[in-house]
Structure 1
Amino acid sequence: MNTKDVIVLTGAGQLGMAIVRRIAYGNKIIVADWKIENAEAISKTLVEAGFDVIPFKVDISSRESILTLIRVAQKEGEVSMLVNAAGLSPSQSTKEHILQVDLYGTSVLLEEFGKVIKKGGTGVTISSQSGYRMPALTADEDRLLATTPTEELLQLKMLQSENIRDTLHAYQIAKRCNGKRVMAEAVKWGERGARINSISPGIIVTPLALDEFNGSRGDFYKNMFAKSPAGRPGIADEVANVAELLMSEKGAFITGSDFLIDGGATASYFYGSLQPERN
């Protein structure tokens, strides 16, 4: 009889892999990505390091695709952990698609996994420092992002195309929404004795980030980390350090929270040399 717990990773990249390497040994891992070749590549690396892994194709902007992923996971055992590292960056797609994946998709993931997570289970979703860059929303806007039924989220007036300036704005409001949904879902996850948190990384060295550093916006990114207190980008294992805390018993009193890991770039954006008026 299979007694392994199941850890589900959505978003097959360096960040998600760094996290599951910390938390998943001895358990079954499902690595899911919208590109099956990405899932297979990360799975191969993990298998070669001794982990028990299944690659799977998922589209997190589709509830049915997420429910299929959950059914596959439950055939392997009880779902004890969710690591969501899936998402689109501002340079990867349209503002509508970013909202569908990063805002709606993440919200559906948190909702559906919150219905099946085992007692004592934990989840972490990767948000972004971008959620901190927007001006504050009103209390009503925050509540709408936190509590609107998922199938009605994309109908909110504030999320209509005419109210979203560009892909960066779409990304920022999606990440702001992620933090609010985590707070609201933490209440529901708590009813099952489970916890959910989010992490908002700054610039982290990954293959995608390296492409950005060498692309048309490269100088923008290099300036950002050069003028942050840390003076450098982060690495995936530094994010995994925090995820490991949040998903272990040492983090048992932490739920509904977001953790900003950006080397102080946001601090510099508001109070240092990255302030927009200085640039």
Structure 2
Amino acid sequence: MNAPDVLVVTGAGGMGAAVARRLGSGRTLLLADAVPGHLDRAVTALRAEGYGARGLVTDIASPAAVAELAAAAAALGRLAAVVHTAGVSAATSTVDRIMRVDLAGTAHLIDAFAPLAGPGAAVVCVASMAGHYARLSPADEQALATTPATDLLDLDLITGFDGDPVHAYILAKRANQVRVEAAALTYHRRGARINTISPGVISTPMARVEQESPSGAHMTAMLDACGAGRTGTPAEIAEAAAFLTGPHSLYITGTDLLVDGGQAAWIRRHRVS
């Protein structure tokens, strides 16, 4: 009997739950989140809907926890896909936590799942439209892309960081994008693919906290100005993840898919500084 296909989804929030529902049918679903109560509620709901879901408490900032997640996935069967939605926001986190979770944590996850990624497997890391705001030198981007994950937080760019959580978030999400570019060759040699999705403002509990923060009015005004006039939905991110992990994107790897209602395009071509 063939081993079951395994789907790993990190983050049990709005995007993670939507991805689990969109991709989890007929698969063994391993859901990871750092908050036990949040994770338990999500797994219980998914099981009640017929999904073969199980949960593992995982702090993405911990390399040991990420390695445990990968080992748990390997024990369940053949890895089909990983969709990494877990992360923290600028509105509720410190610079240090953003660097540890959003930047280094994603790098550790990319490394941990590479040995499991065989032919046909696909990994999607959720970055952010914010990564397209970053203004880094080619040398800094190369360092973020290729420095061993264990040494990332020791880079001068990180230890000497002089900015607020918003700018830390921008840096971390750009790091996600370039890290995936660099990892694509390793995954390709195993017959697998890896990409990022960069959402704009998506209607999740985390985004609602952001909208209630001091930058919330600017965020809303930007949505109107770019023509979208609305936030995105978690289901739209799940559809993008379904495309990037499915059979219609086999020639797509090492790149970023913007799902932002045109916000980045407006910023680049129409916003008056």
State TM-score, norm by structure 2.
0.95
Give SS of 2:9's match.
strand
The answer for the alignment partner of 1:145 in structure 2 is 144
Give SS of 2:228's match.
coil
1:237 to 235, 238, 248: 235
- Indicate how the Cα distance of structure 1 residues 211 and 93 shifts in structure 2: closer, same or farther if over 3 A, else same: closer
RMSD value, Cα: 1.5
1:138-160 CA distance string (max 9 Å, x none): 22222111111111111111112
CA contact (8 A) 2:89 2:206 kept: no
CA contact (8 A) 1:2 1:76 kept: no
1:86-119 CA distance string (max 9 Å, x none): 1111112111110011000000001110111232
| Counterpart AA for 1:141 | D
C-alpha separation between the residues in 2 aligned to 1:164 and 1:229? 34
Give SS of 1:154's match.
helix
C-alpha separation between the residues in 2 aligned to 1:209 and 1:192? 36
* Structure 1 residue runs of 4 or more that deviate by more than 3 Å after TM superposition: 214-217
1:152-178 CA distance string (max 9 Å, x none): 111111112x43311111110100010
C-alpha separation between the residues in 1 aligned to 2:117 and 2:36? 24
Which structure 1 residue ranges, 5 or more long, are not aligned?
A: none
CA contact (8 A) 1:4 1:28 kept: yes
C-alpha separation between the residues in 1 aligned to 2:8 and 2:116? 12
C-alpha separation between the residues in 1 aligned to 2:134 and 2:119? 36
C-alpha separation between the residues in 2 aligned to 1:39 and 1:176? 28
CA contact (8 A) 2:145 2:182 kept: yes
CA contact (8 A) 2:91 2:213 kept: no
Matches of residues 1-279 of structure 1 in structure 2 within 5 Å? Answer: 3-135=3-135, 137-160=136-159, 162-273=160-271, 275=272, 277=273
Residue 238 of structure 1: how far off its partner (Å): 1.2
Residue 248 of structure 1: how far off its partner (Å): 0.5
State TM-score, norm by structure 1.
0.93
C-alpha separation between the residues in 2 aligned to 1:167 and 1:212? 12
Which structure 2 residue ranges, 5 or more long, are not aligned?
A: none
C-alpha separation between the residues in 2 aligned to 1:179 and 1:227? 26
Residue 210 of structure 1: how far off its partner (Å): 2.2
